[in-house]
Structure 1
């Protein structure tokens, strides 16, 4: 005969069965989770760089290396082929405007100056001699003219008397003709003497003008030689720093050879160098950010130099603060040339995970899992990148190198 089971016992058995099933399910889940953690790759959050997507403004920049150079620098060259006679200064010292830096041997110039002075004296003597000669000839011809004028008067009087006597039959026709010829001959002689005065004056004046022209040429040559003589005293063109000097006494120097370089102090600009790949994106007037340590100085592209050497293009940058205390000659700086500016866009810190513009696979962290997501990357200023699509403000991105996980769609991020 069957025994009736107590309902309480049946309920307890059902409860135990349910608990056993739940325990088994929990055990299986825990085992699966443990296996998943053991098999799935993970990354320690402290060993990667994670950036938060945020809103802001960005300037697209081209990075270049730069070197600080003086705004005003003057090169002093030798005016002649000579040698260094005496050195008065040392490279690196501050100099005053007009301060004597070195002396060049000037003996050849001094000899040339002496020779020119002798030639000038000869020309001056020639001009004086020609002037005196002209005056003397003029006086002689003037006296001769005065005598001829008296003779002309006398012959005319005689001719008039003969003409009167001829009417009365007192003189012969031959005597009258002779008197007429004497008047004409005297008139011709008088005209010739007057022409001689004018001709002599023209010839002498021409000779004097030639001598004066030669004198003027010699004076210019003398002035040039005197300027060269002054340039053999090599002086600082302005107050500044003597950055280079040919300080070897007795050294030979050729014409035009550099002997000194003086740079202006506390007034600088930047010479930047970058790959010619960016040449088409560069233009005068572009804004520039110059960085040295924590100091940032604003500037502007002054000139893009036309020549390209070894795949490198150079440009000159003027600074808004050319007298800044951090600036010094030959200081190396980082130059960021701003080619584009955007406002109210999504940004993230720059890192090795980004590679230029365009679509890129970046790991986006949500709920402890970094999932590979395609982001469209825009402008970059070397510090930040613009995110055009694929993420929203507040998202966290792994910006360090994730190339080891390139074949994974997701990675756990361990805190």
Structure 2
């Protein structure tokens, strides 16, 4: 008799099929719940700022603060120290070049100068005495030479006579040899005397030259000492306004100490501090403008200081044409420094998004206006109003330019009204 076999409801194949479908469904549910929530964010349109990508004239510039300073300032540093004896001009007054500002006293310098003068007088007297003695010795030597020459002539005459007489055997040979020896002796003595006079003359001239050189050297030293004494007077090197005079009568000052400055107020320069980020873009000849009392004034960079301190470097700017009549020393001015000429460029307004993205990406609003999708871009130059777009955006597109705080890991903004 045949046996009825019941069909199995759950086969192994069916279990695996249902398990795979359930796992896939579970994965889809997890992705839709967790994955999309981390990539999307609902944002109210009233809490963000949307701007259009546009093409317009663009000029790269920065706004910096500059301080008005005199066109030329000369610092008054003491050359020779001492005690302040007298002040001729008070702080804040106008001075002319060559005016005496104050006088120092320095007893040590004055005594040294007097000692040098005494040494010079002693040296001059020594030279005069030496010259007198030399002339007396020279006269004495010349007299001796004259005597020697006289005896030489006598000896020559006697020798010539005896030479004739010895031929006729009129005199003894001893007499002849005596006169000959005397003549030779006198002749030799005369030559030695002339040589001695010549050497003495050279020695006297050399000695006088040495004394003259010593006198000239001492005169130069006295000249330096005199200029040192002159330095006890502080003289105005330029015409201008005496500023910050730091000296009181009776006060002692050291060499090299600064006691003030003189400002030439015939013109002004503007000293500007600029962020070191722009050091490669700033050079002499760049122009800038500022507004004062409703008028615009032009400036030009005249000097760039390469040293960077506290994240800034300095430049000096001078006026191109007109100098404001009411500008004052130390006045702060807000200057628009032009880093490039005006050119057509693709632009987006500046906004808080840059702090989070560094200009590397931005949220672009879709044509329907209900979403903003993250997109990589590239920005170029900038000014206080706009960024230049060099890659990633098209004209007419809309972008979110407000702050991206909390959006760093979001790929898409869902814009809600």
Name the TM-score class by shorter chain: 0.7 to 0.9
On the 8 A contact 1:347/1:387 being kept in 2, the answer is: yes
Distance change >3 Å, CA 230–CA 398, structure 1 → 2: farther
Structure 1 unpaired stretches of 5+: 1-38
Deviations 1:21-47 (A, max 9, x none): xxxxxxxxxxxxxxxxxx9624289xx
Deviations 1:258-310 (A, max 9, x none): 1231122143334443454555x2564362536466755332252333x444x
- Indicate the residue corresponding to 2:331 in structure 1: 331
Question: What is the alpha-carbon distance in structure 2 between the residues aligned to residue 367 and residue 86 of structure 1?
Answer: 86
- Indicate the residue corresponding to 1:300 in structure 2: 301
Question: What is the alpha-carbon distance in structure 1 between the residues aligned to residue 234 and residue 277 of structure 2?
Answer: 44
On the 8 A contact 1:53/1:397 being kept in 2, the answer is: no
- Indicate the residue corresponding to 1:150 in structure 2: 150
TM-score of the pair, normalised by structure 1? 0.75
Distance change >3 Å, CA 370–CA 195, structure 1 → 2: farther
Question: What is the alpha-carbon distance in structure 2 between the residues aligned to residue 348 and residue 88 of structure 1?
Answer: 63
SS of structure 2 residue aligned to 1:72: strand
Deviations 1:147-200 (A, max 9, x none): 222211111011111111112222222221111121122222222222222222
- Select which of 387, 406, 409 maps to 1:385: 387
Superposition pairs for residues 18-57 of structure 1, below 5 Å?
A: 41-43=44-46, 53-57=54-58
Deviation of 1:62 (Å): 6.0
Superposition pairs for residues 116-265 of structure 1, below 5 Å?
A: 116-265=116-265
Deviation of 1:86 (Å): 2.0
- Select which of 405, 409, 413 maps to 1:409: 413
Structure 2 unpaired stretches of 5+: 1-41
- Indicate the residue corresponding to 2:314 in structure 1: 315
Question: What is the alpha-carbon distance in structure 1 between the residues aligned to residue 50 and residue 83 of structure 2?
Answer: 64
- Indicate the residue corresponding to 1:93 in structure 2: 93
- Indicate the residue corresponding to 1:80 in structure 2: 80
Aligned pair count reads 369
Question: What is the alpha-carbon distance in structure 2 between the residues aligned to residue 165 and residue 236 of structure 1?
Answer: 95
On the 8 A contact 1:65/1:333 being kept in 2, the answer is: yes
TM-score of the pair, normalised by structure 2? 0.75
Question: What is the alpha-carbon distance in structure 2 between the residues aligned to residue 76 and residue 291 of structure 1?
Answer: 33
Deviation of 1:250 (Å): 2.1
The worse-fitting range, judged by mean Cα deviation, of 282-291 and 263-272 is: 282-291
Question: What is the alpha-carbon distance in structure 2 between the residues aligned to residue 190 and residue 130 of structure 1?
Answer: 27
